[in-house]
């Protein structure tokens, strides 16, 4: 008999992280789930370690690193369940986290995705309190995401709250919805794939929620930080952001937003090139434009599918977006500091 929930843990050279993650899954108060490890061609003997220490974990081993987007799709296709929970290997779950995530979807039929509250894995040295990593994310009209309540002291009471998107660290999604959308966009590799998925869920009329009763501890970018240089991460982030806008906005919205978007991008290129003397990051942004140009035909095909499927118009979507540029706000804070 299939479990109600399948847990998919994404791993890339994360042997040192997996122990805390899998122990916290084993100790969950909710028990009706199976755990699958999607190993993205790790080279640190993660698979043999898990086989020996956690024989109850089922393993899918990729021959090459497919990134978070394509790998998540592969794992979802090879499993069966009513709900899917995606977890990064740098996550440690509170013992009641799964119980609260599952109950949220059981009780709220219009919630398509529910994310957990992410806390920093270590207490803040000054306050001696846990700080919030994110409570889901807000999105501006230019596709730039911002972690809600980031770095605030964790004093939040338990509640269900509407957000624009869920980060990929630990969230639950209805499998029938995931399948209908075709899962993640495999072109993304990583970074921004979670924003795109959440946006498309919203276009089908579902809500994205965060349940602060379901919380986890997060070692931020523990794998991504060391695996790739900053310029490569900026390249993925920028190219995926533009593709997300091109696919998900209605035509009239694109005509209004894209000119301002490209002005902001030009300003950012100048910032890194002239002020920061970081030509590799400036070049990464330019490369992201070229990638979208070369892949424009594929983007148009995906856009046609999304626009045909959508039932929510941009007037409703933009209502819950931030109208100012979060990227510009971030750079102002950077310069002031």
User: What are the pLDDT digits (tens) for 61-109?
Assistant: 999 999 999 999 999 999 999 999 999 999 999 999 999 999 999 999 9
The pLDDT assigned to 336 comes to 77
The pLDDT assigned to 155 comes to 82
pLDDT-flagged residues of the chain (< 50) = none
Assign 13 to helix, strand or coil.
Answer: coil
DSSP class of residue 94? -
Q: How far apart are CA 7 and CA 239, in angstroms?
A: 29
The pLDDT assigned to 228 comes to 83
Task: Report yes or no: 312 and 200 within 8 Å, Cβ to Cβ.
Answer: no
Task: Quote the distance between the C-alpha of residue 191 and its chain's center.
Answer: 7
The pLDDT assigned to 329 comes to 86
Q: How far apart are CA 29 and CA 150, in angstroms?
A: 28
Task: Report yes or no: 275 and 288 within 8 Å, Cβ to Cβ.
Answer: no
Assign 196 to helix, strand or coil.
Answer: helix
Q: Please tell me the pTM assigned to this model.
A: 0.94
Q: Which residue has tokens 């970074």?
A: 191
């Amino acid at each position: 008999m299939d479990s109600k929930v399948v847990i998919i843990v994404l791993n890339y050279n994360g042997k040192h992280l997996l122990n805390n993650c899998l122990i916290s899954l084993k100790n969950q108060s909710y028990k009706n789930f199976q755990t699958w490890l999607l190993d993205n061609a790790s080279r640190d003997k993660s698979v043999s370690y898990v086989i020996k220490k956690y024989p109850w974990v089922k393993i899918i081993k990729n021959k090459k690193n497919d990134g978070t987007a394509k790998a998540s799709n592969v794992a979802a296709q090879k499993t069966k369940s009513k709900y899917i929970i995606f977890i990064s290997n740098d996550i440690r779950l509170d013992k009641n986290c799964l119980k609260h995530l599952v109950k949220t979807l059981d009780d709220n039929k219009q919630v398509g995705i529910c994310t957990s509250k992410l806390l920093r894995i270590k207490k803040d040295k000054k306050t001696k309190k846990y700080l919030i990593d994110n409570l889901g994310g807000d999105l501006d009209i230019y596709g730039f995401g911002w972690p809600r309540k980031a770095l605030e002291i964790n004093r939040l009471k338990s509640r269900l709250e509407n957000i624009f998107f869920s980060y990929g660290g630990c969230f639950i999604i209805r499998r029938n919805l995931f399948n209908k959308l075709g899962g993640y966009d495999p072109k993304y590799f990583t970074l921004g794939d979670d924003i795109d998925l959440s946006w498309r869920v919203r276009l089908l009329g579902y809500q994205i929620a965060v349940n602060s009763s379901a919380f986890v501890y997060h070692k931020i970018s523990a794998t991504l930080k060391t695996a790739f240089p900053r310029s490569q991460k900026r390249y993925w982030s920028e190219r995926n952001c533009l593709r997300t806008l091109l696919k998900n906005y209605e035509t009239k919205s694109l005509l209004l937003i894209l000119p301002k978007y490209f002005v902001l991008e030009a300003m950012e290129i100048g910032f890194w090139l002239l002020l920061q003397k970081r030509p590799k990051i400036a070049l990464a942004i330019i490369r992201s434009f070229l990638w979208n140009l070369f892949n424009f035909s594929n983007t148009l095909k995906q856009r046609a599918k999304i626009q045909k499927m959508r039932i929510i118009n941009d007037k409703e979507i933009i209502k819950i977006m931030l109208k100012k540029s979060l990227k510009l706000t971030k750079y102002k804070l950077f310069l002031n500091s």
